[in-house]
Amino acid sequence: MKTALIDPFQRAISYLRVSVTDRCDFRCVYCMSENMQFLPKKELLSLEELDRMCATFIRLGVKKLRITGGEPLVRRDIMTFFRSMSRHLDSGDLHELTLTTNGSQLHRFADDLYAAGVRRVNVSLDTLEEAKFARVTRWGRLPQVLKGIDAAQKAGLKVKINTVALKGFNEDELFTLTEWCASRGMDLTFIEVMPMGDLGGEDRVGQYWALDDLRAQLATRYSLSDIPKRTGGPARYSRVAETGQDIGFITPLTHNFCESCNRVRLTCTGELYMCLGQEDMADLRAPLRASDDDAVLENAIRAAISLKPKGHDFDYSRQRADGQMTRHMSHTGG
């Protein structure tokens, strides 16, 4: 094992989120515009390059690998990559291999994911009403996602639901979503909408529902107690006494989580973003392709980590999306 990756603020980087494609079969209103211009194939890292990149990060101390997109399961032959990554689970160098998905393809791949060593998946789901689901995803079909969740649980995968809190959209489903997840033994995480990308007229400030308010509404019906649970990500968790489930809150705006950030994000083109809420990035594709010697790539990774900022600058307090990122969420991988 090489010397661990430590950023300038003495945070050990042990969690890598990897976008394997910018493409998706949905067009969620807070993630991408309806008429997206996707990247040409030659700009994307090949599956073999993704394998080499991830293996290098694991050698440098990354213990958790989350595969994202776009929608990762629409990447052609993606299971080849998952099966290859399982060797790091077998060796013990990697502690967890997981993914975030919209659920549309889970019915096809759930068994294969489990066989590759995946044990948990996060499914993005913002509403249980079919018409509203079609509206927020533009192209998505709720029954297909529910079929995928069924398949994942049947395969033995632990499913956690990620719900973006959207004012005027899913406020009225707060208790419905909570109770539905509890009935299926699924934890639930709420996420504040983040100012990422030009979404063709979508009102960021109008969408924003502070999780302090959401939690206060939950507390009118349930007894919530904070718990020290950590899953490697930014969520802070509370236990619901009445249902026994854990509810997470990801609050990049009301309470940022930067002081404990152990994450970096690799895009499908090999750009490493040291912070979701900053534009600074490092190009790792060039050193990867420049030499077969992994030392060149390792040096580039270490140089990038040395530039990791202390935190991000998302702010809606002045009724505008200060700190807005020009890139789409689908580009960075969430």
CATH number, domain at 167? 3.20.20.70
The answer to whether position 5 is within a domain reads: no
Task: Tell whether 40 is covered by a domain.
Answer: yes
Q: Are 239 and 224 in contact (CB under 8 A)?
A: yes
The sheet with strand 15-19 has its strands ordered as: 224-227, 236-240, 246-250, 187-192, 158-165, 120-124, 96-101, 64-68, 15-19, 263-266, 271-273, 281-283
State the pLDDT at residue 133.
94
Give me the number of domains the chain comprises: 1
**Is 9 within a domain?**
no
Residue 313 — pLDDT band, cuts 50, 70, 90? low
Residue 292 covered by a domain: yes
Binding-site entries for [4Fe-4S] cluster: 24, 28, 31, 258, 261, 275
Higher pLDDT, 276 or 55: 55
- CA–CA distance, 143 with 149 (Å, rounded to integer): 10
Query: Range of 121's domain?
Result: 15-332
Is 10 contained in some domain? no
Tell me the pLDDT tens digit for each residue of 138-175.
989 999 999 999 999 999 999 999 999 999 999 999 99
For the annotated binding site for GTP, the residues are 17, 66, 100, 160, 263-265
SS3 298: helix
Provide the pLDDT for residue 315.
45
Residue 164 forms part of a structural domain = yes
Give the phi and the psi of residue 332 in degrees, each rounded to 5. Answer: -80, -30
- The answer to whether position 7 is within a domain reads no
- The reported pLDDT for the residue numbered 316 is 40
DSSP for residue 40: P
Q: For 168, which DSSP code?
A: T
Alpha-carbon distance of 258 to 265, in angstroms, equals: 14
The annotation places the binding site at 17, 24, 28, 30-31, 66, 70, 100, 124, 160, 194, 258, 261, 263-265, 275
What are the pLDDT digits (tens) for 254-291? Answer: 555 567 788 899 999 999 999 866 778 999 999 999 99
In a domain, 2, yes or no: no
List binding-site positions for S-adenosyl-L-methionine.
Answer: 30, 70, 124, 194
pLDDT tens for each residue of 192-230: 986 644 444 445 556 789 999 999 999 999 999 999 987
Question: Taking the model in full, what pTM does it have?
Answer: 0.88
Alpha helix positions (H), 60-141: 78-91, 106-115, 130-137
Q: Which residues, 6 or more positions from 213, have their beta carbon under 8 angstroms from its beta carbon? A: none
* Mean predicted lDDT score pLDDT of the chain: 88
Q: What is the pLDDT of residue 207?
A: 78
